[in-house]
Amino acid sequence: MKRKSIVETLREAIEGSALNITQLGELSGVDKAQISRFVNEKRTLTLESAERIAEALGLELKAKKKRQKWISVKTGTFTKTIVIGKKEKM
């Protein structure tokens, strides 16, 4: 099973939210046009913007290890870990 990227996961969280783009922009402090372009796959987000949007959605972006590229998305008691790129060999 292919793991979702943080970009896919964040887009799905935005689209599944009860908030509209304007409300999400107001809560996160990220320009609504920037959020709209991200959702419509016209641009990416900076890590700062992604963190602000995630927080407004009640999610937590948390890096676990410096050398391995992966991130955890936490909402309530549920945590999903997303690996970016290949895992290091043991």
Q: Is residue 89 part of a domain?
A: no
What's the Cα-to-Cα distance from 78 to each of 1, 12, 52, 69, 88, rounded to whole Å? 20, 16, 19, 20, 25
Helix/strand/coil for 12: helix
**How many whole angstroms from its chain centre is CA 67?**
20
Is residue 43 predicted with pLDDT exceeding 60?
A: yes
Domains of the chain: total: 1
Is residue 1 in a domain? no
Q: What is the CATH number of the domain that holds 18?
A: 1.10.260.40
Instruction: Give the rounded percent of residues in the chain with a pLDDT score beyond 70.
Output: 68
Q: Residue 19's pLDDT is what?
A: 92
Residue 58 domain flag: yes
Domain that holds residue 48: 6-83
Asked whether residue 88 is domain-assigned, the answer is no
Tell me the whole-structure pTM to 2 decimals: 0.66
Q: What's the pLDDT score for residue 76?
A: 62
Enter the tokens of residue 3.
């793991």
At residue 7, does pLDDT exceed 90?
Answer: no
